[in-house]
Amino acid sequence: MLLGITTDTLEAVMGAAVSTAAPVFMIAYADLNATTWALTDSNRNVGVLNGTSNVVVLPAPSANTRRQVKFLNILNTDTIKHQISVIFNANTVFRTLKTISLDVGQSLTWTPENGWEEGPATFNLNLTGTTKLDKVIIGDAGSEESGVNINGTVFDSSAKVSDIGGTNLAQFLIHRHSTTLSPLIVAARSRSDTSGHSTVVKNDEVLRLIGAGWDGVDYKPATEINFIVDGVSGAGNMPGRIDLKTTPANSISPVKGLSLRQSGRIEGTQFPMQRMLRGIITSRAWTIRTSAANNAWRAIAWSPELGLFAAVATDGTGNRVMTSPDGITWTIRTSAADNQWFAIAWSPELGLFVAMAATGTGNRVMTSPDGITWTIRTSAADNSWFGIAWSPELGLFVAVAATGTGNRVMTSPDGITWTIRTSAADNQWLAIAWSPELGLFAAVANSGTGNRVMTSPRIATA
């Protein structure tokens, strides 16, 4: 609130108590067009006021100017509890802006609300209705002010809770008494940079939690939890995934160790329960299941997002793909071409199956978003493509072949457009795999002398 009339004054009044010592008043003020703040006399004996006698602590503005208050410090040096009121005097009409109760020996800083310059506060403030603030810092902001720098990235905030030392075990506490409702934290994201709404898409992050520690230079992330849209979203459909990440020794980058997918499946090579279950499964007998056709089935891939197996074959007529939601019941799907399909892979990030063939003319790749409908894609060369792998970290498919001259590797960022890469040797490369932990592709061959393995830490995408 600004003083709207040039003859107005701002006054501090103490009532309902008798002062045996002088409370200390300090106020800073300035004209709106001023660049510096002025301080009034700090020691003022308010005395017995009874609402009629008052002390003017802010001079009246000069002609054609307005003043705004930056802060008002009141130190209660008395042994009696006092009540301080700040009065706005508009043409002899007194209007109370704020009333503050001071306990014995209490020191506080107060700032008038609603348009006055903000200042620090060390008293309890009770607000009703809707309160809108641009930025809030609770506690001691430290050197970072409203944000914090983690590994070179400054995370600024609209609200920050910060302590320097202290004895509080909890910096942030949600407390509720209710017979039906629990304390609740909600994060919600719209895919827009305006007040309008836009639907989030697959792999959009809706919440991220980071735990970071000071390494002697700056803060580095030790753990991270990501809440992600795990599929195509739309009206009545919002599949989700939770990724748990930890930073390995001698590293500053969290690595995903565990994922809870929208299907309920838990994934993660470091998960002890998964290793235990793997041992149980391998120790049990296998059960025959009926294949959808007696084709020569060569490769199979699983999609956690679709909850679907997809298998490809090297023979059959228009039926060289079959799918199953459980590995037990299989259904024939129409293949995009009757090529000899030797390999298949699934990309969760792209939501795409990609299959590779050893035969065909310019059509030795086919893709499918659902395992049911397949589309031919142009292969970069008519080599005998026998293996394929997807790297989520690089966002890249890599395929290897058993034929070709210096061109037995091809890559694609989307499964559609493929680029030839130089192979390390012209061996018959039959399989390839990607290691997220090592950041490494490894391929194996069934020909060559002492050189039947090749690796690549990075495949050029240009």
pLDDT at 17 over 60: no
Mean pLDDT of 335-363: 96
SS (H, E, C) 356-367: EECCCCCCCEEE
- Tell me the CATH number at 345: 2.130.10.10
The number of domains in the chain is 3
Q: Check if the beta carbon of residue 108 is closer than 8 Å to that of residue 102.
A: yes
Q: Is residue 34 part of a domain?
A: yes
pLDDT tens track for 366-410? 999 999 999 999 999 999 999 999 998 889 999 999 999 999 999
- Whether 177 is covered by a domain: the verdict is no
Contacts 24+ apart (CB under 8 A), 233-237: 233/199, 233/200, 233/201, 233/202, 234/199
Q: How many helices (H) and strands (E) does the chain have?
A: 1, 32
Exposed, middle or buried, 376 (CB in 10 Å: 0-12/13-18/19+)?
Answer: middle
What's this model's pTM, rounded to 2 decimal places?
Answer: 0.47
pLDDT band at 98 (very low <50, low <70, confident <90, very high): very low
H-helix or E-strand spanning residue 149: strand 148-150
Residue range 196-207: mean pLDDT, rounded: 91
Q: Which residue range(s) make up the domain with 212?
A: 205-278
pLDDT tier at 150 (50, 70, 90 boundaries)? confident
Considering 126, 143, 170, which residue would you say is the last residue of a domain? 126
β-strand partners of 237: 234
User: Environment class of residue 66 by beta-carbon count within 10 Å: exposed (0-12), middle (13-18) or buried (19+)?
Assistant: middle
Alpha carbon distance 344, 221 (integer Å): 36
Residues 156 and 145 sit within 8 Å (Cβ to Cβ): no
Question: Are 22 and 117 members of one domain?
Answer: yes
Same domain, 248 and 382: no
Which residue has better confidence, 139 or 78? 139
User: Does 65 score more than 90 pLDDT?
Assistant: no
Q: Residues 429, 408: contact at Cβ < 8 Å?
A: yes
Q: Are residues 303 and 439 in the same domain?
A: yes
Q: Do 258 and 310 sit in the same domain of this protein?
A: no
* pLDDT score recorded for residue 130: 57
Residues 257 and 340 in one domain: no
Encode pLDDT of 409-452 as tens digits. 999 999 999 999 999 999 999 999 999 888 899 999 999 999 99
Q: Is residue 260 part of a domain?
A: yes
Is residue 17 in a domain? Answer: yes
Whether residue 288 is contained in a domain is answered as: no
Same domain, 262 and 389: no
Q: Are residues 308 and 264 part of one domain? A: no
Whether 151 maps to a domain, the answer reads no
Both 274 and 301 in a single domain? Answer: no
Can you tell me the distance from the alpha carbon of 67 to that of 241, in angstroms, rounded to the nearest whole number?
55
Is 171 contained in some domain?
A: no
Instruction: At 172, list the tokens.
Output: 């942030």
Residue where one domain finishes, among candidates 126, 141, 166: 126
Same domain, 357 and 235: no
88, 105, 126 — which closes off a domain?
Answer: 126
> How many Å apart are CA 391 and CA 15, to the nearest integer?
74
- Candidate from 92-96, 138-142, 215-219, 238-242 with smallest mean pLDDT: 92-96
Whether pLDDT at 460 is above 80:
no
Within-domain flag for 392: yes
pLDDT at 227 over 90: yes
Residues 258 and 392 in one domain: no
The pLDDT value recorded for residue 159 is 79
In whole angstroms, give the CA distance from residue 351 to residue 139.
Answer: 45
Q: Which of 41-50, 192-201, 418-427 has the lowest mean pLDDT?
A: 41-50
Do residues 424 and 442 lie in contact, with contact meaning Cβ atoms separated by under 8 Å? no
- For position 442, what pLDDT does the model report? 97
**Which of 26-30, 211-215, 360-364 has the weakest average pLDDT?**
26-30
Residues 224 and 353 placed together within one structural domain of the fold: no
Same domain, 415 and 348: yes
Of the candidates 397, 406, 352, which has an alpha carbon nearest to the alpha carbon of residue 379? 397
For 88, the enclosing helix (H) or strand (E) is strand 82-90
Q: Write the DSSP symbol of residue 307.
A: T
